[in-house]
Structure 1
Amino acid sequence: MTAYRAPDFQERTALARAAKQKALEQLRAKPKPSEAELAERKAAAAARDAAEAEQRLARAAEKQAAAEARAQAAIADRAAKAEAAIAPSKSDIERKAERDARYAARKARK
């Protein structure tokens, strides 16, 4: 039984060259696509690109609608806060009258 002998540099380059040549021959032997196949591939790529563009437009429209909704909500919130700040608060006399009315109602129930 002979011992394993590692290939030297020249053997390795020869093997690599042979493998590269074999791969090139296989690639050259591959049949070229027909005109119909090329046209079909181009049509499929165009359809795919159109669908992606449509999806991008739809996402952009959704983002715009969401931004507008947030802006409207913020405007409504600010308007409500401003209205609450402007609305006259109950005076001490009115609050005392309400408290007295609740007290009288509680006494009437007993």
Structure 2
Amino acid sequence: LSTLLLERPPGTIESHIVTRIAWEVTVGLAFLHRNGIMHRDVKPSNVLLDENLHAKVTDFGLSSDNSSDDIDEWSPNLSATELDMNNRLSWYTAPELISHGTQPATQYTERCDVFS
């Protein structure tokens, strides 16, 4: 997806294709969430497109199982500076994950995947 977005000028991808890609990513995330998995790294470079421009969500390196007791590396209390220093702050980071000063960041939830 990131390659398609870089290669095509803004507004030149047909609306039905944009809608289908968004729908397929949404369906993929819904499947993950129904099965207790949070992706935690949704961004264009982690959405692959086949030759017919059908989307597949990929790269589960940061994903987590909601049922596990593992500590969530995104929370709490990571400041925007700390996230940025670790190269984890991006345009796709949900605002609730970024703490400002003494205000703690929220735990990562499925909503954060949806924002991304």
| Shorter-chain TM-score tier | under 0.3
Determine which structure has the larger strand proportion and give its number. 2
User: Is the radius of gyration larger for structure 1 or structure 2?
Assistant: 1
TM-score by length of 2: 0.21
TM-score by length of 1: 0.23
Determine which structure has the larger helix proportion and give its number. 1
